Amino acid sequence: MPISPRRSSPARPLPEDSLAHALCCAAELIARVAGGAALTDILADLWVPRPATPPAVRGAIQDLTYGTLRDYGRQDFILGRLLDKSLPEPVQSLLRVALHRLDVRPDSAHTVVDQAVNAAATLLSGRFKGVVNGVLRNALRQSATLRYAADADLVAEMRHPPWWIRRVRDQHPQDWRNVLAAGNVHPPMALRVNRRRSTPEAAAAELAEAGLSARTWPGGALLLERPVPVVRIPGFAEGRVSVQDIGAQAAAPLLDVASGQHVLDACAAPGGKTAHLLELADVDLLALDADPQRARRIDENLQRLGLSARVMAADCRAIDRWWDGRPFDRILADVPCSASGVVRRHPDIKWLRRSGDIGRFAAQQAEILDALWQVLAPGGKMLYATCSVFREENQDQVARFAASHADCHRLTIEGQTDRQFLPCADHDGFFYALLHKAA
């Protein structure tokens, strides 16, 4: 259902361009996420009935929502010190959003409190307007004490669920703090150059001419100094460049595709890696995705880039429903996973995931590997990929598979048995393992 602030009849409508309106909408969104809804879905619900919403208004709402969700655990810790019991939604989430805003904009504390109170007046008949005012003013008076206490609490400091923190700490003992910290910040923005239409040098020159600073990475990826809307990126609409994380851009080159090969991208949506493979060589490529709506996005992305492939909506595990019997020379298995390596792009994941989900993802990944191995040609290569930092989905999964398939040989990546990108300032978290099928 479309989201709209719950307003009492006597309250004046909030001006669309006001901070109060953004606080109110963000609170509604976060209340829905706290109730189990996915942020992508409810954001779509918000904009469908409001197609004319100005970009600045959309941006303000999304910034507050994403920022508050990235701060998972911190606001609730502070509210636990200021409230005897939780308030009804969406008032509780309004306080979460306001506390986040106070944290990132302490110079505008008076405005934030004033606008949060205005927002509270439109929620639940305004019954909690005074409570919101009092809680936020207490938060400001006790700010130093509350900040010190929050920094001493592991969940409030690291802004991740306790089980997530334990898992990362146990599996990445040298890097766990950096991994968790990376999940709490704005993600970087990188571009992949379509080598059929441009070059990294030409794309970099176009960016400079447009006043956008970027660094060139090995392999030709361009990392923007700061993210910008795609409408500002020269060459995007014309298909000369695509937005794709640097870590994700590592996938296609690892498969070592050559013209004429029969290639499968088994979990392809939204099509970034599919397009990259087609940019590298003239291959006969089949792109699958189990979700028909997501599969349509593959076609849309390929059309913008001037590329073509066969696209099918199908579960790659059900090979009898889509495979024509011709083995594939190369397979990209970018499997569904916890998305723990890209959580800063999808911060609702921290609210929605449970520890038991990791085992369920691992079971699904094992089914996919077993199915796809059947359609890989002898002598062919499969790249197993996730955007996870958890061993159960990565190293442990590949080790189990290799041990149970005598014809599977693990190929090295840069001298290592696999490649784990841990999230950092320049890229997200990804895992890759390259498997060769004996001839």
CA torsion sign, 89 to 91 to 96 to 101?
Answer: positive
Name the token pair of 335: 């499997």
Task: Report residue 274 CA to chain centroid gap.
Answer: 18
pLDDT tens across 94-109, in order?
A: 999 999 999 999 999 9
Helix pair 109-120, 19-34: axis angle to 10 deg = 70
pLDDT of residue 48: 86
Q: What is the mean pLDDT of residues 300-329?
A: 97
pLDDT tens across 364-409, in order?
A: 999 999 999 999 999 999 999 999 999 999 999 999 999 999 999 9
pLDDT tens across 295-313, in order?
A: 999 999 999 999 999 999 9
pLDDT of residue 34: 95
Active site residue 387: yes
pLDDT of residue 199: 97
Q: What is the mean pLDDT of residues 197-210?
A: 97
Rounded-to-integer distance, Cα 57 and Cα 16, Å = 7
Q: For residue 8, what pLDDT band results from cuts at 50, 70 and 90?
A: very low
Among the listed residues 24, 387, 408, 424, the single catalytic one is: 387
pLDDT tens across 61-90, in order?
A: 999 999 999 999 999 999 999 999 999 999
DSSP strands (E only) in 250-372: 262-265, 284-289, 310-313, 328-334
pLDDT tens across 17-64, in order?
A: 999 999 999 999 999 999 999 999 999 888 888 888 899 999 999 999
297: left (phi over 0), alpha (psi -120 to 50) or beta: alpha
Say which residue, 12 or 182, is predicted with more confidence: 182
Nearest to 193 by CA among 214, 210, 209: 214
Q: For residue 9, what pLDDT band results from cuts at 50, 70 and 90?
A: very low
pLDDT of residue 433: 98
Query: Taking all residues of the chain, what is their mean pLDDT, rounded to a whole number?
Result: 95
Rounded-to-integer distance, Cα 185 and Cα 182, Å = 6
Asked if pLDDT for residue 3 goes beyond 60, the answer is no
Half-sphere exposure of 90 (CA within 13 A, CB side): 27
pLDDT tens across 412-425, in order?
A: 999 999 999 999 99
How does 112-146 read in b/e, with b if 16+ C-beta sit within 10 Å? bbebbbbbbbbbbebebbeebeebbeebeeeeeeb
Nearest to 135 by CA among 180, 90, 84: 84
User: Helix (H, G, I), strand (E, B), or coil: what is residue 376?
Assistant: strand
Q: What structural domains does the chain harbor?
A: 19-155 (1.10.940.10), 189-244 (3.30.70.1170), 246-437 (3.40.50.150)
Asked if pLDDT for residue 2 goes beyond 50, the answer is no
pLDDT of residue 162: 98
pLDDT of residue 4: 45
Q: What is the mean pLDDT of residues 170-178?
A: 98
Q: Are 200 and 216 in contact (CB under 8 A)?
A: yes
pLDDT tens across 235-294, in order?
A: 999 999 999 999 999 999 999 999 999 999 999 999 999 999 999 999 999 999 999 999
Q: For residue 11, what pLDDT band results from cuts at 50, 70 and 90?
A: low
Half-sphere exposure of 61 (CA within 13 A, CB side): 26
